[in-house]
Structure 1
């Protein structure tokens, strides 16, 4: 059975990040592990955006949570990330299922919000870690 209740976060939803939605996530999910996925991290504005990569040297670091009450919690998180099914314009982020790596290198299927626009004019966060840029 495929578990679809894990979420990888790398920006304003990180554990201990000082934001309302980070606190919401901590109340509605269980912290599993630090981890990473193959991708590139960019500074979009006061928040980051990540895109997927197939290059194993390009990593985005963050936290993996096990979501409680997936339907309710993902609805609120999708709203926060600006994902609207009836959007007239493309959404800034999309929620996709990826292979994430836990700190012990175990692979886990996890949702992640990836940036959905061009990154051409964005500053890359080379460390892959939003809190250590």
Structure 2
């Protein structure tokens, strides 16, 4: 299966400065910001999205269209980067004023039990860890899944 559209929500987003983000951005076209129906969890210095049936659960991210000539090479590098805890899965990406687009995203495949849920669905930017200042939200956007509200 050839992957052409990739939705990213963490360290690969537009504006991130790391080796894999630079590879993706150099070999793809940015289509814009969007959301998928999922819950976002703080795992460590990175996040993991888990698919959700609840329409209120959204994860914010960016949609890219991979260059046809290098899509296989880019996806092989990203597969190695994401590792075995993430599974490439089909997703529908909602974008303002657009018909939902079918894409793929690396969703968290390990257990999210006990991990902090990032209710606002937007991973802290600029390398900030969950709960630290960095996107203006800090820990206020985190909630343990067992906590109400």
TM-score (norm 1): 0.87
Other-structure match for 1:47 = 46
The 3-state SS of whatever aligns with 1:26 is: helix
Q: Structure 2: which 5+ runs fail to align? A: 125-134, 138-149
The equivalences for 1:48-67 within 5 A come to 48-67=47-66
The one of the two structures with greater contact order (alpha-carbon pairs below 8 A, sep at least 6) is 1
Higher strand share: 1
The equivalences for 1:74-93 within 5 A come to 74-82=75-83, 91-93=84-86
Other-structure match for 1:23 = 22
Q: Return 3-12 or 72-81, whichever deviates more.
A: 3-12
Q: Return 95-104 or 119-128, whichever deviates more.
A: 95-104
Q: Distance in 2 between matches of 1:15 and 1:106?
A: 21
Alignment root-mean-square deviation, CA: 1.6
Task: Give the superposition deviation at 1:105.
Answer: 4.0
Task: Give the superposition deviation at 1:19.
Answer: 1.6
The 3-state SS of whatever aligns with 1:17 is: coil
Moved beyond 6 Å, runs of 4+:
none
Other-structure match for 1:101 = 94
**Over alpha carbons, which structure has the higher Rg?**
2
Q: Structure 1: which 5+ runs fail to align? A: 83-90
1:68-121 deviation digits (Å, cap 9, x = unpaired): 122111111111111xxxxxxxx2000011111123242111010000111111
1:2-43 deviation digits (Å, cap 9, x = unpaired): x84000000000010122211111101110010000000000
Aligned pairs, how many? Answer: 124
Q: Return 56-65 or 104-113, whichever deviates more.
A: 104-113
The 3-state SS of whatever aligns with 2:112 is: coil
